[in-house]
Amino acid sequence: MHPRLELRIPISPTAQDMRMVRYFLASLDLFGGDIASQTHTVLSVGADEPPRDLLQEFPWIKQWSVDIRWVDRELFKQWEYDATGVDRFWVESNAEIVAMVDADLLVGASLDSMVARVAESERVHGFMAHISPFGYGNFRSTPSATWWNQIYAAAGMDAPDLDRQVSAWGLDQDFNPNIALADPEHRMAPDYFNYGVIIGPRRHFESMAVTYLDDIETVSTVVPGSRYISQIANCITFARHQIPCDLLPINDNFPLNLPAEEMRRLNPDPYGQDSDEDIRIFHYIGRRKVFASPESVAEFVGRSDVSAVDRVFQERLRATAIQTGELHAD
């Protein structure tokens, strides 16, 4: 018997975001294993507009077990997209396992083993963020350890142990000179997970919900303007509530915006599953425009100038598009 899984996804009420959700859920049905039939989804919808009936606009939603929540409009105006992330912590649920996930994901293989491992360990799991949240822009001139210490002090907590290496540290700096990929001052972090997939027992997220918004406010006072405020806030909330954490393998949140072979070298799979066919969740960062329309999906899956990992992604996407009816089988 699989534990009940709940996906919590922050979105904007746009056709593109809704298509991404549709493909995510359809790919879960196709490739996600037995757990798919026991999965419930909650959409936290954020926009500076009155709520409207998304079930009427997008009737395909009724194919799945989905609840739709509109984020408080005033909260959204204050925090914008961080507000949609906060709202997910306030969901009342009876699921045993909760996954805080982005919409830009496609399932490529069974999630049964991942969910079972998380349930057995009773820990919150995530894949380490690709770079330090302080490894870019004006933050970069100050060591990450200094920033972490300042944030934890502002939260009334002791300095954290920086015992995790960010997952893209060690890539060739020429890949992107604007971010710290090889600077030892920006190599290590606490349990600083990429927000694409963070999964754990529901009770841990319920504990986090008590202070999460306050912790976001604290982070924003120390690093105003950071694009990673919510990801940073997760760290201090984990520590504040003594929530045990562990790492997801790269196959559970595989970034398609970074060199695949190098990312595998830096983050070898602990189970020896190092083939692109082993990827359970593709995180197609920076490719949301692929889902702008059925035509843009068809254009992408028809391309031949793609990498090896993209070919596997294309195969999963093509099958998913056919499943939705937006692409006809050849």
Rounded to two decimals, the pTM is 0.97
pLDDT, tens digit, for every residue of 238-285? 999 999 999 999 999 999 999 999 999 999 999 999 999 999 999 999
Looking at CATH, the fold of the domain delimited by 5-324 is given as Spore Coat Polysaccharide Biosynthesis Protein SpsA; Chain A (3.90.550)
Rounded to whole angstroms, the Cα distance separating 220 from 31 reads 39
pLDDT at 330 over 90: no
Rounded to whole angstroms, the Cα distance separating 44 from 82 reads 11
Q: Where in the chain does DSSP place strands (E)?
A: 5-11, 39-45, 66-70, 97-101, 105-107, 124-128, 164-165, 188-189, 193-201, 245-247, 254-255, 281-283
pLDDT, tens digit, for every residue of 10-50? 999 999 999 999 999 999 999 999 999 889 999 999 999 99
pLDDT cut 90: percent of the chain above it: 95
pLDDT, tens digit, for every residue of 313-325? 999 999 999 999 9
pLDDT, tens digit, for every residue of 69-101? 999 999 999 999 999 999 999 999 999 999 999
Q: What is residue 173's predicted lDDT score, i.e. its pLDDT?
A: 85
Please tell me what DSSP assigns to residue 289. Answer: G
pLDDT, tens digit, for every residue of 114-143? 999 999 999 999 999 999 999 999 999 999
Domain ranges of the chain: 5-324
Residues 6+ apart with CB under 8 A from 13: 45, 47, 49, 52, 54
Rounded to whole angstroms, the Cα distance separating 232 from 229 reads 5
| Amino acid at position 95, single letter | A
